[in-house]
Amino acid sequence: MARTNLSVDERVFEEFSYQAQKQNKTLFAFGNESLSVISKICAEGGTPAEIAMLWKVAIVLRQVDVMTLPADFLDLLIEKLYNTDKAWTLKMFGQLGASMVGFMKIAVGEFEQLGELAREFELILPIKKFDIETIDKNTIRVNVIGAGRKVCSTECSLEFLKELLNGFGWNVTQQEFGVGTIQITASKRGLP
């Protein structure tokens, strides 16, 4: 067994010691377990930052009871529903967006912070880009790339996003979408 000394910030050490104690483990055992996990993940190309990000994602997913499916499979299901009853399918995606507003407000606070949450989900979502651009103090533009692999699934994503915006107090003033891409301009509610 190799022995070495590690220098760490005092606050990091205090938190690490507290967590070891909380889990009823010695510093030796907790340190070995922690370093072993980090080393294995880094050996496979991961980083400590990705571990932290995935942990946040896992917490969010637990709260909304999500089941992850392959994107192609999901697009086929959406296409079948869309072709069978377009109005109902779009309505359901809108209702899903509306139902997520309360949770998203807890997770991010303001809609403008949703871009940061989307970046944290990049490892598990097919979304390649989710940017919120401030046009002026009362207007934003939302740009999404990777919002479906078919026009019908992208339109469903658009309905979801419109209701999410609405729940955060934004009125959609312009919208454009194509296969996998969405651009929405929105104004704060109560403004012309």
Summarize pLDDT for 138-176 with one digit per residue, the tens: 999 999 998 888 999 999 999 999 999 999 999 999 999
| pLDDT tens, position by position, 114-146 | 777 777 666 556 678 888 999 998 999 999 998
pLDDT on residue 108: 79
What are the Cα distances from residue 154, in Å, to 47, 127, 131?
32, 11, 16
Cβ neighbours of residue 131 closer than 8 Å, sequence gap 6 or more: 115, 142, 143, 144
pLDDT on residue 63: 66
Which SS3 state, helix, strand or coil, does residue 150 take? coil
Q: What strand order describes the sheet that includes 181-188?
A: 129-136, 139-145, 181-188, 170-178
CATH architecture type of domain 69-188: Alpha-Beta Complex (3.90)
The CA distance from 172 to 170, in Å, is: 6
pLDDT on residue 69: 75
Per-residue pLDDT averaged across 40-54, rounded?
A: 85
pLDDT on residue 91: 97
Give phi and psi for 128, each to the nearest 5: -90, -30
pLDDT on residue 49: 84
Tell if the pTM clears 0.85, that is, is over it. Answer: no
Question: E strands, the chain, where?
Answer: 129-136, 139-145, 170-178, 181-188
Residue 21 pLDDT exceeds 60: yes
